[in-house]
Amino acid sequence: MNYKQQLGALGGLLTTVGGAYFFYKSAIFQVDTGHRAIKFNKVSGLGSFTYREGFHFMLPWFERPIIYDVRTHPTVIKSVTGSKDLQMVNISLRVLYRPDQTQLPDLYRTLGTDYDARVLPSIVNEVLKSVVAQYNASQLLTQREMISVLIRQTLEQRAHDFRIVVDDVSITELTFGREFTNAIEEKQIAQQEAERAKYLVQRALQEKNSAIIKAEGEARAAELLGPILSKSPTYIQIRRIEAAREIAHSLAISRNKAYLDAETLLLNLTTTLDANLEKVPLGGPRESPVLSTPQVQAQKQ
């Protein structure tokens, strides 16, 4: 094989490879996972068949694929609307949506590939205004989950008219105007002050009842101890000793240092006790013996 034959064979190979590559690029299109495709024909127009994942054939120069991402997409839309009691509400709504893959030809014919930017902001604002206007500001706070469900149901029906499927809706932010926020804070402060006043009243009543019970107990104790103290002063000494023990225990466990002599620490108990013991001999007062007449005469002698 001479040089010209080799060059001709190489040229034929390159032509075949180039033709195959050109055929692949112009006659075959690929649909990735999570996508769907429809074809537009320059002669017959938009086709009605939807192509799934994989490789598909098309006529070069006459057909071109239109590919849609049918996976779920998130978007956050903010809106300012009014409640039933005329309070301004700032609300942010997170929407999970996707195109209806069974109606892609109609979706492309009416909205194109940027359907979400054309439709979602307007219909979300419309639904938010219609739903929020049915509730007061306080209900928006306490019934947030129920309102979110109602918004989702209404938005699903509204988006279905535009061949859009809404998978989930949630309220991510819900705030009110400054006046309403200040009113809520003032109400909370007033409620806290009322609860504190109620607590103070109950505490005062408890202290009053405790003082009454304590006074009644002390009065009853005085009635019972009166006769005992009049007959025996020893009880007072016992109470003083107990008080001295309590004082000594308090000084022992205290971190502060105190220097006291024994008599000061015992509150002069020893002096008082000695004086009482001199007055009352051990064993009680003794009666002087009665002497008979002979004994008296003997003592006189």
pLDDT in tens, 122-145: 999 999 999 999 998 888 888 888
Question: What is the reported pLDDT for 166?
Answer: 95
d(CA 113, CA 115): 5
| Residue 163 near residue 106 (C-beta atoms within 8 A) | yes
Residue 38, beta-bridge partner list: 66
pTM: 0.57
At residue 172, the 3 state secondary structure works out as strand
Q: Please give the angle made by the CA atoms of 280, 281 and 286, to the nearest 5 degrees.
A: 100
Question: What is the reported pLDDT for 231?
Answer: 64
Question: What is the reported pLDDT for 189?
Answer: 81
Question: What is the reported pLDDT for 229?
Answer: 63
Give the β-pairing of 88-99 and 164-176: antiparallel
Ordered mean pLDDT values, 10 residues apiece, the chain (301 residues): 61 68 76 93 89 89 91 93 87 94 93 92 93 89 90 94 94 82 74 86 87 81 69 69 77 68 53 50 44 42 43
Structure tokens at 183: 């009113």
Domain 73-176, CATH class in plain words = alpha beta
| Residue 27 near residue 54 (C-beta atoms within 8 A) | no
Residue 82, beta-bridge partner list: 88
